[in-house]
Amino acid sequence: MTAHGLPLPVRPAAGRAVTRLAVRQVRRGALIVLTLAVGMSVLVVATYASTIADGGGAEALAALAGNPAIRTLFGEPVALDTAGGFTVWRTGVVLAVLLSVWGTLVTTRVTRGEEEAGRWDLLLAGRLSRPVLLGRHLAVLTAAMVLTGVTLAAALTAAGTPGRGAVVHAAGLTSAGVVAVAVAALAAQIFPTRSGATGAALAFLGVGLMARMVGDGVTALGWLRWLPPYGPLALLHPYRDDRWAPLIVPALTAVALAVAALALAGRRDARAGLLAPATGRPARLWLLGSVEAFAIRRLLRPLAGWSAGLGAYFLLIGLLADSLTGFLADNPRFADLAAQAGFGGLGTVRGYTATLFALLAVPVGAFTAVRLAALATAETSGRLTLLHAGPATRTRLLGAELLTTATGAALLVTVAATATWLGTNLVGANLPLPAALAGAWNALPVALLSLAAATVAHGRAPHGVVAWGMVPTAGGFLLMVLADSVDAPGWVSALSPYRHLAAVPETAPDWLALAVMGAATVAAVTAGLYAYQRRDLRP
């Protein structure tokens, strides 16, 4: 402040330096996301003729519009007789989730995470205010989303799809990413920790995705598709109607959330959120008697949130089992196309649940990676300093976190199995509980590969725990789908752990493959523990 109480003017050079810093922090992840979005879309366009146009595939897919289960799981089919329309239906929801989740994670990391770790203290001590810092980062993140959309539209147009449809589709994906960035920025002002802000923003995305799925599948609840960030994308109908009006909703939502975030940024103290811990309450000392008990205490709240989300999703999966399997039994051509997209065996209840249980490894693997990332954040923010200075060794500290996280992963797959069993029995699909448990637990070794990769990253590169942790699960699934789409050599798809999963409960488990995954997990965890013991603690 000046002597007259007015804020010091911001020098242009200082603002540009902050912008360059934000670009440096997000450029690598933005490039990866852009490459995945463009590569997946162009690949589907390039293989459309062989998968759909030949052999009467378009006629079979046209029947999808009348099946609520298909619409709920994959979205409303629109313009499937064109390469662009099929590409939107096959990749649209996946790419929207990819962009929005990345936008959420990177926003909370470069805003609340940097402030929580104290790396914004010197910046805020000078001429730069929190709204200015936040605004610069929001501008860079928004530009990253826009760049992804522009590149995707150009690539789809160059691949031969109509330019107007490509622009509408890309604009929809961009809007989902921008809304996620704005939501995360607002959450970063409300919650005093990065984990709290990330959890709240991801919960918003989860509710939005469920609303989109229900709106697609239940005609009477179609109004839910107006809810951002994913719902309005279902109303655009690119490559057929090319509607622009639904984009007004996410655009206004993003602007309102960003304005609220900037306003709240100037109304709170440094390193604090609007939600402060309650004062004057009795001390809560439960589960603070040991390192292991403390790890359990840190796990309980996020585990409850993840369990609620996965339980709701797999309950819906169970409720749709009878409708979807009946449809695929009457349309074998579409069952073949689904197999090419990585969703084989959907024609029976056991095959359907086996396929979706395999995908369970992706969210459970994300859970394990996020938990290890929370430990890394606690280290860099200084919250573990006293523990490191005491008699507890690093091996015991990380070992307790690994054990509780693995236990949490096992509980999550059990919740998913129980919810699926409940849903199938409510609709008379007749899936026994032991079969559901066997199918869900069959995916656990793949999810634990994510825990192992995150452990190695924690020992070698703590700032990349989530990214490296998602390689075996999300990366492995994408590798399998892409390898099948381009008819790659067998050894390429064999690199994916999903290729070695048996279709449990439709078939018996592949015990040898599961044992190999278990051995790889143990070896990677051991390597990560060794690296963690030898590296310096990160300030």
Residue 522's domain comprises 286-539
Rounded to an integer, what is the distance from CA 86 to the centroid of its chain?
Answer: 23
What does the pLDDT read at residue 235? 94
Q: Is 472 among the domain residues?
A: yes
Rounded to an integer, what is the distance from CA 40 to the centroid of its chain?
Answer: 17
The rounded percent of the chain whose pLDDT value lies above 70 is 89
What does the pLDDT read at residue 4? 44
Both 238 and 327 in one domain: the answer is: no
Residue 341's CB is within 10 A of a number of other CB atoms, namely 15
Both 227 and 264 in one domain: the answer is: yes
Both 309 and 435 in one domain: the answer is: yes
Mean of the pLDDT values across residues 254-275?
A: 89
Mean of the pLDDT values across residues 168-187?
A: 97
What does the pLDDT read at residue 420? 95
Q: Is 402 among the domain residues?
A: yes
Both 265 and 396 in one domain: the answer is: no
Mean of the pLDDT values across residues 249-266?
A: 95
Q: Is 146 among the domain residues?
A: yes
Q: Is 6 among the domain residues?
A: no
Tens digits of residue pLDDT in 96-121: 999 999 999 999 999 988 888 778 87
Mean pLDDT across the chain: 86
Task: Say whether pLDDT at 6 is over 80.
Answer: no
* Structure tokens belonging to residue 347: 């024609």
Confirm if 506 and 345 have CB atoms less than 8 A apart.
Answer: yes
Task: Say whether pLDDT at 332 is over 90.
Answer: no
Least confident of 380-389, 394-403, 510-519: 380-389
Of 221, 250, 274, which marks where a domain is finished?
Answer: 274
Across the chain, how many H-helices and E-strands are there? Answer: 24, 0
**Count of domains in the chain?**
2
Least confident of 36-40, 210-214, 382-386, 410-414: 382-386
Instruction: Give CA–CA dist 159/272, Å, rounded.
Output: 49
Both 449 and 496 in one domain: the answer is: yes
**C-alpha distance from residue 114 to each of 18, 80, 134, 243 (Å):** 13, 45, 11, 39
Of 198 and 453, more confident: 453
CA nearest neighbour of 528 among 451, 447, 473, 444: 451
Mean of the pLDDT values across residues 347-351?
A: 80
Both 237 and 338 in one domain: the answer is: no
What does the pLDDT read at residue 3? 43
Q: Is 2 among the domain residues?
A: no
Which pLDDT band, with edges at 50, 70 and 90, does 11 fall under? low
Q: Is 59 among the domain residues?
A: yes
Of 251, 274, 297, which marks where a domain is finished?
Answer: 274
Of 217 and 368, more confident: 368
Both 36 and 85 in one domain: the answer is: yes
Q: Which of 1-5, 322-326, 403-407 shows the highest mean pLDDT?
A: 403-407
The rounded percent of the chain whose pLDDT value lies above 90 is 49
Mean of the pLDDT values across residues 188-217?
A: 89
Instruction: Give CA–CA dist 147/133, Å, rounded.
Output: 21
Confirm if 208 and 282 have CB atoms less than 8 A apart.
Answer: no
Instruction: Give CA–CA dist 128/259, Å, rounded.
Output: 18
Instruction: Give CA–CA dist 118/339, Å, rounded.
Output: 49
Both 260 and 385 in one domain: the answer is: no
Task: Say whether pLDDT at 401 is over 50.
Answer: yes
The pTM score is: 0.84
Q: What is the dihedral of CA 74, 79, 80, 82, to 10 degrees?
A: -140
Mean of the pLDDT values across residues 488-497?
A: 86
Both 352 and 317 in one domain: the answer is: yes
CA nearest neighbour of 181 among 271, 104, 109, 250: 104
Both 270 and 290 in one domain: the answer is: no
Of 274, 296, 328, which marks where a domain is finished?
Answer: 274
Which pLDDT band, with edges at 50, 70 and 90, does 65 fall under? low
Q: Is 280 among the domain residues?
A: no
SS3 of residue 503 by DSSP: coil
Task: Say whether pLDDT at 516 is over 90.
Answer: yes
SS (H, E, C) 200-269: HHHHHHHHHHHHHHHHHHCHHHHHHHHCCCCHHHHHCCCCCCCCCHHHHHHHHHHHHHHHHHHHHHCCCC
Task: Say whether pLDDT at 17 is over 90.
Answer: no
Both 323 and 408 in one domain: the answer is: yes
Q: What is the dihedral of CA 416, 342, 472, 413, to 10 degrees?
A: 10
Confirm if 416 and 314 have CB atoms less than 8 A apart.
Answer: yes
What does the pLDDT read at residue 156? 96
Both 357 and 233 in one domain: the answer is: no
Q: Is 4 among the domain residues?
A: no
SS3 of residue 279 by DSSP: coil
